[in-house]
Amino acid sequence: MTKPLFDKIALIGIGLIGGSIALAARRGGLATRIVAATRSEETAATANRLKLVDHCGTDLAAACEDADLVIVCTPVGACGEAARTIAPRLKPGCIVSDVGSVKQAVVDAMKPHLPAGVHFVPAHPVAGTENSGPEAGFAELFDGRWTILTPLPDSDPAAVDKLETFWKALGSLTQRLDPADHDRILAITSHLPHLIAYAIVGTADDLAGHLNSEVLRFAAGGFRDFTRIAASDPTMWRDVFMNNREAVLETLGRFQEDLFYLQRAIRWGEGDKLFELFTRTREIRRALIHLNQA
């Protein structure tokens, strides 16, 4: 039997992403021992009942004792405080990573707390669902999906390679990016679509008030898809927007210009402009299916 990649893995936070990492790591035989720590007794009890890990407690620092890999799986806004709490118990040579949907702000929040001799390699699995909490985790979440690693200029190359091997073994495809580039790309591919979904469902709900709920009763395909996205975790998404402010505002500005272009085309009856855009976007959808990411 081959030796597991890591002796001990510690997950700080055990919701959808932490739980899925635990299950996928166990499926792949990637660690001798997997432990977790979370904020609440209730989540810890659920993680233990579901046997997601060998043990889940509420002492974040204690969980990291002797760990070879620590992954912070909390909302982005809690990563800095988690790093500060666990720092004194991190073993020299340990790899510390995270899964945050924003990278530069997480790097800025975590890095100052991490002691020398610990290898910090931030990462973001671009895979998820609108569900959260330990019961939402499943082993197949990362299969065939991208995980973006955003190593820092001083990240240890061997640690980066090892974390990349880990994510591949969890089922992911991997890509390395600069943290700021990651944030700009995700602003348009993930953050803005969520913002639009939150806005459109809110607008429809306000309208429903005036129209005696008819709007929500007749919710059809497109709107239903938006409601699924708009059911995503409020804490997680508040933190994303508070921590990727610049890139989101820049992208939102461009998007508003494009919306005005469409508004004008509709007002002036310029159907050709609409047709041209809708044809181009249809091709994008087909290309996406071709890339197997739809």
Q: Restricting to residues 201-240, name those near ligand NAP by CB under 6 A.
A: 233, 236
Does 125 contact ligand NAP by CB under 6 A? yes
Q: Using CB under 6 A, which of 24, 73, 170, 186 touches ligand NAP?
A: 73
Size of the site for ligand NAP (CB under 6 A): 27
List the structure tokens of 53: 């890990």
Which ranges in the chain belong to alpha helices (H)? 16-27, 41-49, 60-64, 79-86, 104-110, 157-169, 179-186, 192-210, 214-217, 221-229, 234-243, 245-267, 271-290
Backbone angles phi, psi at 175, to 5 degrees: -150, 140
Q: Smaller CB distance to ligand NAP: residue 69 or 82?
A: 82
Question: Which listed range, 36-44, 209-217, 219-227, 248-256, lies at the site for ligand NAP (CB under 6 A)?
Answer: 36-44
**β-bridge mates for residue 33, sequence order:** 8
Distance CA 64, CA 94 (A): 9
Cα 262 vs. chain centroid, distance in angstroms? 31
User: Residue 53 gets which letter from DSSP?
Assistant: S
Letters for 89-118 (x = contact with ligand NAP by CB under 6 A, - = none) are ----------xxx-----------------
Residue 242 beta carbon to ligand NAP: minimum distance, rounded to whole angstroms: 12
Does 76 contact ligand NAP by CB under 6 A? yes
Does 43 contact ligand NAP by CB under 6 A? yes
Does 34 contact ligand NAP by CB under 6 A? no
Phi-psi bin for 13: left (phi > 0), alpha (psi -120 to 50), beta? left
Does 132 contact ligand NAP by CB under 6 A? yes
Residues in contact with ligand NAP by CB under 6 A are 13-18, 38-40, 43, 73-76, 78, 82, 99-101, 124-125, 128-129, 132-133, 233, 236
